[in-house]
Amino acid sequence: MDATTPLRQSDPPRRLSLVLHPRRDVGAAIDCVTRWAGTNGVELAGLDDPRMPVAVRRCDEAGLARGCDLVLALGGDGTMLGALRVAAPLGVPVLGVNLGRLGYLTEVDGERLPEALQAITDGAFAVEERFVLLAAWREDGRLREEAAYNDVVLSRVPGRGQAALALSVDGQLLVRYASDGVIAATPTGSTAYSFAAGGPLVSPQTRAMIVTPDAPHGLFSRAVVLGDDERLGVEVLPSSAPIAVEVDGRLLTQVEPGWSMEVAPNPWSALVIRLGSAGFAERARRKLGIVDPAALADFDLAGHER
């Protein structure tokens, strides 16, 4: 499959699963989806949540995306990541609807939900692949693996000193950091913590790992971009403070000096629904509030005065 594969279909999906923001008021969005589903003969499924209408079939998280044509995430970036966790391993695409503030990962804002559903009905959408990382480490004598759609973050535990980390690429030492931590991000996640720590913006159609130090002490303080077949090794050095390990914003464990992990390309991609023609540049300018310098405000992109 290419990075962006247009799909045309005469019929809407037959089964759609809903993933809801755990606290936000999503009633209006659910009403809109329920009306659309009833009109188009679409079966709805979701977790056992009191906000779900009676007509929505209940299922557990393991079965949420099984046999499903599409997962609809109603909330924000966290909801979108939660939907990807259940849908991506089964090859089911996710459409993210922003019902909050920034919603960088989502495709449409809430007020555009009716138009988005109509586009799904008409087959006027594309499915885009997103590069995923796989973090692996030993825990209680067993191998633990976690897919990361945004980032893997290792950060010092506050009040316990600096993080001392050694980073290697395919087994070869790259750098040792004394820092607040390090971020290994997907291109999709390059706009999140990695960007805040000084990392580059990377198009989500790129297959690469972005490794960004967080407040490093030392001569080498730049982000590093690894290819889609390279593996990052991270070792917690003897002088390090305890380290908190997060994947996509979820705190998974706290580790001590001597611990190590590997972050590698995941064997399968995540799938997201894209609507319209807005590309990476337009979305980045709008979502991140990128503005031109005042001296260029009166000129267009070709350098001509407006």
Catalytic residue among 77, 151, 214, 248: 77
Is residue 60 annotated as a catalytic residue, yes or no?
no
Instruction: For residues 186 and 131, give the distance between their C-alpha atoms in angstroms, rounded to a whole number.
Output: 6
- Alpha helices of 41-166 — where are they, by DSSP H? 77-87, 113-122
Cα 27 to Cα 17, 19, 22, 30, 76, distances in angstroms: 16, 13, 12, 5, 15
Number of Cβ within 10 Å of residue 164's Cβ equals 20
Name every residue whose Cβ is closer than 8 Å to that of residue 83 and which is 6 or more positions away in sequence.
19, 71, 72, 73, 94, 96
According to DSSP, residue 7 is labeled E
Name every residue whose Cβ is closer than 8 Å to that of residue 288 and which is 6 or more positions away in sequence.
104, 191, 195, 201
Taking only Cα atoms into account, the Rg of the chain, rounded to an integer number of angstroms, comes to: 21
According to DSSP, residue 305 is labeled B
What is the distance in angstroms between the CA of the first residue and the CA of the last residue of the chain?
42
Half-sphere exposure of 122 (CA within 13 A, CB side): 10
Which amino acid, residue 142? R
Instruction: For residues 217 and 180, give the distance between their C-alpha atoms in angstroms, rounded to a whole number.
Output: 9
241: tokens are 């403070």
Question: For residue 263, which of 179, 181, 151, 175 has the smallest C-alpha distance?
Answer: 151
Catalytic residues: 77
